[in-house]
Amino acid sequence: MNFRQLEIFRAVMVSGSASRAADLLQITQPAVSRAIGELETALDFLLFDRVRGRLVPTAEGRLFFRDVDRSFTGLDSLRASAARIRDFGSGSIRIASLAAMGSTLVPRAIRTFRDAMPQVAITLQIHASSTVRDLVANQQFDIGLAADEVDLSGVDHRAFLNAKAVCAIPPGHPLAAKSVIGPADLDGLPFVALAPEDRARARLTQALDAVGAKPEIIVETPASATICALALEGVGVGLVNPVSAIGFEARGLTFRPFAPDVYFTTHLLFRPDAQKALIVNRFVAELMAARSLERLQTPAPPRPARTT
């Protein structure tokens, strides 16, 4: 029993006759009959009754066809997978991201990527930047987005985004009246801070120390989105990545520019083991497009009231 015999048997069962099977496979009808006879000899049971020159499936033939057809269904799936690999480099992509990008910019890139390549399976996980780096370095994920405090050794990487920090201000807070927030404005105020290892926090600390300002740190958290949520509840003000701030203004949170500039820097990380697959390159292109469309500027400050 060999693959060609099984292919011919399936063609006869699907098409309903030896002549149509021959047309499908582009072989002669005697070749079909010969292959069927050889397969029956190998199996030691009849697959067809010969009735007036026609091949009529036996009960054993129908039963055998169910298993053969399942096997060919698996082969069809393999062919489709091979086509995806040929066209896109892989049939799936695994993405790990820090929270700042994973809840805003990355979903936007996934939507446009899916519009172009709906057949590619996508995995997205949100982790701390150090975990993102490890997942990519250990070849468990194809792409990572991580903050600049991570160790970049052992991974391919490129700069992705430098975003100016903005100040998240609770509803009704006096700071909302200012057009730009400076370090001295934060002195003594209840403050929601980033985690100590965050480089943006270190840059803010330098700016505060330069003028002797000391905010009252109420909560520490690694995620800018969490700072926004806490500020919205009135817990305190905070300095956040503007990508994470998307959507909070509509919920009542106020944002103002902060000076001097404090940047949130994000890197793209790639597996070091192989050349990037075509679908990885395509997804990176969608990330770049999402980055260019993202509104990273802070809302305009309030205009002074007009006098008459």
What is the pLDDT at residue 77? 66
CB neighbours of residue 197 within 10 Å: 14
More confident residue, 114 or 72: 114
**Within 13 Å of residue 84, how many CA atoms lie on the same side as its CB?**
17
d(CA 282, CA 223): 28
Task: Please tell me the pTM assigned to this model.
Answer: 0.63
Which helix or strand (DSSP H or E) is residue 124 part of? strand 121-126
In the block, residue with structure tokens 């309903």 = 16
Asked if residue 30 has a cis previous peptide bond (ω within 30° of 0), the answer is: no
What is the pLDDT at residue 294? 52
Confidence of residue 139 (pLDDT cuts 50, 70, 90): confident
Is the per-residue pLDDT at 304 higher than 60?
no
* pLDDT tens profile 90-136: 578 999 999 989 888 999 999 999 998 888 889 999 999 999 999 99
CB 25, CB 11: distance < 8 Å = yes
Q: Are strands 143-147 and 92-97 parallel, antiparallel or unpaired?
A: parallel
* pLDDT tens profile 15-37: 988 899 899 889 999 999 999 99
Phi and psi for 41 in degrees, rounded to 5? -65, -45
